[in-house]
Every structure is written in C-alpha cells, then in structure tokens.
C-alpha cells in the first residue's frame, strides 16, 4: 500500500512525488515513457531551449560578431546541433531518475489507469499488467498536441512541436500555423538557421493573452528578423504539391475575402495543446470534467472522486511547467495535512526568443476590461547603459500599478534576458510590493535590471534616464 501514487512524471508529477516523499510518505510514480520528465524535458521545454540557444549563437556569429571585432565564418552542422540538444535532454531526464531514486520513490514504466478509488492498474511496456493500491492518487499526465481537421501530422513534413525539434535539414520554406509561444519559438529556431518563415494566425494579433502593447512591439521586431505574418487568416488544407513541396491553402478567418496559396517544405502545426486524459479510466469511475475536457478539481486539487487529485495541464490554468510544479508541491502538502497553496496571480510566462518576452500578473488589456484604475511606467532598453553598449536595445519594461495603492499588478518585459528579469517582479508581487518599493530598491550598475527600476520610477512619473 502506497500513501501516494502519481501518474505522470513531468514537472508536476515528479515534483509532487519528491515533495510527498520528503513529507514521509511512501510514494510510487507511473510513467508511460521509458524516461521521466514528461513532455517538458523530453520533447518540449528543454530540447526547444537547447535549439533556441544554439541557433541564437549561430545567428550571433553570422551577423553580429563582426561588429565586436570578431571575424568568423560559421558553418552549420545541424546533426551536431541536434546531438547537442539530445545530450542536454539526456542529462535532464537522467537527473530526474536520480532524484526519484534518491528520495526512495518506486518507479513503474507503463500506462496507468485508475480502476477504482485507491487502485491504479498498470500495463507495462512488455504487455504484463499489475495493480497498485494507494491512499491517494495524483493525476499529472500533462497535455498533448492539438491537431487541425483534415491536416494529418506525420512528423516529417507536417509536424507538431515534436517533429519540429528533430528536423534533419533546414527547410527552405517553413509555414507555421499559430502565432502563440510554441510557434514563434520554433519559428525563430529555423529562421535563424536559414528558413523563410511565414506565420498564419487565426486572430488579428500574435501572442494571444499577453499584453497587446508587448505583442505589437514583438511583431515588429520579428518582421525585422525576417518573419512574415498572415494575421486574421486560417489554413483550410495542406496538400502535396510534388516537387514544389506542400501547398497550404489560406483564407480570411472571417468573411469571404480572397485567399492565397503558400508553398512550404515543412508545415508546423502549433495551434495549442489539450489535456491528456485518454485511457485513464476517468469516465468509468465518474471523474467530472469541464467544458474544455479538463479535469474539474476543488480548491484542494481533489476531483469529484475522493482521494483522487489532479494537477498541471489536465486542470484549468496556464499550461506551464512551473505552474504544474507549484501545484505538485501544494497537493503533496495538502495530502499530508498541511496548507498547500498556489498564487495564480503571480505565475510568470516567458517566450524564449531573441529578444525574450516575459510577463507576470495582469495585462493592461485586462485592467482596462475590469475597470481598474492604474498607472503605467515604461522604460526602453535604448536608454539602458548595459543594453546600449551590448547593442541589445530592442524592447522595454512596463510596470502596471494600482492607481490608489501603488501595488504592482503586472510587469511586462520584452528585451534581453527578460525571462530572468521577470523573477524580480514576481518576488515583489508575491509580497504585495508597490512600484515605490521597486523604485527604491538599489540595482547594480550597469545591469539590464536597472530598466525594471526605471520603469517603476516612471510609474510615479520620475524616471531618471528618459
């Protein structure tokens, strides 16, 4: 008998298991892959960041080193770059396996199914089966790729994010369907390596859900980098065009306007992700789901079946690894009788392009829609000494503060290392800090983070360097 069985060992699942073990519980995990780490470590966050890093270095060497007095002529070895990515993935998944073993967590590799409250059936990779008993079960199975009707993903020419990470040659023409985080990140990888990239997006903007001011600026930067955009458009079909490659039919998302045909060597379908709940036995034991197919949970992450919990991408909220991690810690502590909690108002999001885009808290659009009175402080990286000398001046920092209390409600950054800088804002907001608190915190000079301080100063109309 286990105290906790966790189904899925992505960031939410393995973190939940480790925290439960730390709290003295007997824990087992069930993982359908041969390696731990879930989508994030195996075919998502980690491999994509490796290729983003490597492709950015290649682009820097190709176009920017000369200005610094470094004369090189880089030569792309895509196979070695892919090997670099794979080595990084292996290091990470091996690390998770080590942590599970260190914490004396039993690992079972196979497909898990909840056969009843307190019982998990496992079908192992060799076809054998077994049943484990547990006082509590945590579903942490993550999410899968959303496909488009009539467009079959073969992971060779029509690819999801998975196939886009393993291409063996640089496509001359890449059409990306979807202008969200995944499409723009992977589009950036192949654009830097030489692809002509066209992004088709159903909405009239990129990065839906992020601050529209940031999104507009980011789109202009991507266009300068060579991206083309077809906004307010939808793809109705992709067919083989013989020697010409793939023929992509695009029409206006709304109305009967004139469409066009795009030719591509590879088409990336990046229109979102959906909860992965197939085969878990949810309907049989009557676990309720919401209108979007996500598992419904209460404030303690418990499903409609007592003793069965769910976290991460299978429940409501942003599909982010760090959100799942925090939920994993919280549910382990709740099961142990403690007060686990996740503050959903302070969950940062990052787009790992160049420049990076990072956000935490409310967007200006959300504050306007809610009728909240707020002040805005913006500071451009063109006025930051470190960014200027490094010639990385694209973008800005924006601080949104409550007009009455000065409490910071949101921070949005587009610029170099934005994904690292957003942590400062998250910490401040977690403690209910004000723009004044941020403005009066001494920041080292010269650093990029001085732009955060200046944006906070600007919220009070007293920025120094603009």
Kind of pairing between the strands at 396-402 and 374-380: antiparallel
Q: In the numeric block, which tokens belong to residue 112?
A: 């898990």
Nearest by Cα to 184 from 173, 192, 176: 176
Per-residue DSSP letter, 312 = G
Kind of pairing between the strands at 266-269 and 173-177: parallel
Q: What whole-number distance in Å separates Cα of residue 51 and Cα of residue 55?
A: 6
HEC secondary structure over 49-94: HHHHHHHHHHHHHHHCCHHHCCCCCCCCCHHHHHHHHHHHHHHHHH
Please compute Rg for the chain using Cα positions.
23
Beta strands (DSSP E) in 125-232 are 129-139, 143-145, 158-159, 173-177, 196-201, 228-231
- Give the CA count within 13 Å in the CB-facing half-sphere of 84: 15
Q: What whole-number distance in Å separates Cα of residue 134 and Cα of residue 136?
A: 5
Q: What whole-number distance in Å separates Cα of residue 449 and Cα of residue 386?
A: 9
Per-residue DSSP letter, 383 = G
Contact 132, 2 (CB under 8 A): yes
Contact 295, 289 (CB under 8 A): yes
Residue 412: C-alpha distances to residues 96, 205, 210 (Å): 32, 17, 9
Residue 268: C-alpha distances to residues 49, 275, 310, 431 (Å): 17, 20, 30, 41
Contact 174, 298 (CB under 8 A): no
Angle between helices 181-192 and 45-63 (to 10 degrees): 40
Diameter of the chain by CA atoms? 69
Q: What whole-number distance in Å separates Cα of residue 141 and Cα of residue 3?
A: 19
Nearest by Cα to 351 from 207, 211, 221, 209: 207
Collapsed DSSP state (helix, strand, coil) of residue 234 = strand
Query: Active-site residues: which are they?
Result: 445
Contact 124, 32 (CB under 8 A): no
Strand partners, 112: 122
């Amino acid at each position: 008998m286990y105290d906790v069985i966790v189904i899925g060992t992505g960031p939410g699942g393995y973190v939940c298991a480790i925290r439960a073990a730390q709290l003295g519980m007997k824990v087992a995990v069930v993982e359908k892959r041969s390696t731990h780490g879930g989508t994030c470590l195996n075919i998502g966050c980690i491999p994509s960041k490796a290729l983003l890093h490597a492709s950015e270095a290649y682009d820097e060497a190709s176009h920017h080193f000369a200005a610094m007095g470094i004369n090189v002529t880089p030569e792309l070895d895509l196979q070695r770059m892919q090997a670099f990515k794979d080595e990084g993935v292996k290091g990470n998944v091996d690390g998770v396996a080590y942590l599970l073993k260190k914490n004396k967590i039993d690992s079972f590799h196979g497909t898990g199914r909840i056969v009843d409250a307190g019982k998990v059936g496992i079908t192992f990779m060799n076809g054998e089966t077994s049943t484990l008993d547990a006082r509590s079960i945590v579903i942490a199975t993550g999410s899968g790729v959303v496909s488009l009707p009539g467009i079959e993903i073969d992971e060779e020419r029509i690819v999801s994010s998975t196939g886009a990470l393993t291409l063996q040659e640089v496509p001359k023409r890449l059409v990306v369907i979807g202008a969200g985080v995944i499409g723009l990140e992977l589009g950036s990888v192949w654009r830097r390596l030489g692809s002509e990239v066209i992004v088709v997006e159903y909405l009239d903007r990129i990065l839906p859900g992020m601050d529209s001011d940031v999104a507009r600026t980011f789109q202009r930067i991507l266009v300068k980098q060579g991206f083309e955009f077809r906004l307010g458009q939808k793809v109705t079909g992709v067919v083989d065009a013989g020697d010409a490659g793939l023929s992509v039919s695009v029409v206006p998302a709304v109305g009967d306007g004139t469409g066009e045909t795009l030719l591509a060597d590879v088409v990336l379908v990046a229109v979102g992700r959906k909860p992965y709940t197939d085969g878990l036995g949810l309907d049989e034991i009557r676990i309720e789901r919401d209108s979007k197919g996500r598992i419904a949970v209460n404030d303690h992450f418990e499903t409609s079946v007592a003793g069965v919990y769910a976290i991460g991408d299978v429940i409501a909220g942003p599909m982010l690894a760090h959100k799942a991690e925090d939920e994993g810690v919280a549910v382990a502590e709740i099961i142990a009788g403690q007060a686990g909690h996740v503050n959903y108002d302070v969950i940062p999001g990052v787009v790992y392009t160049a420049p990076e885009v990072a956000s935490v808290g409310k967007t200006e659009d959300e504050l306007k829609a809610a009728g909240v009175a707020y002040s805005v402080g913006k500071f451009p990286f063109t006025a930051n000494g470190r960014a200027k000398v490094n010639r990385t001046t694209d973008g800005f920092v924006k601080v949104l503060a409550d007009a009455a209390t000065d409490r910071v409600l949101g921070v949005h950054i587009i610029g170099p290392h934005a994904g690292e800088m957003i942590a400062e804002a998250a910490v401040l907001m977690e403690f209910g800090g004000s723009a004044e608190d941020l403005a009066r915190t001494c920041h080292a000079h010269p650093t990029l983070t001085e732009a955060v301080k200046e944006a906070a100063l600007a919220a009070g109309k007293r920025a120094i360097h603009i």
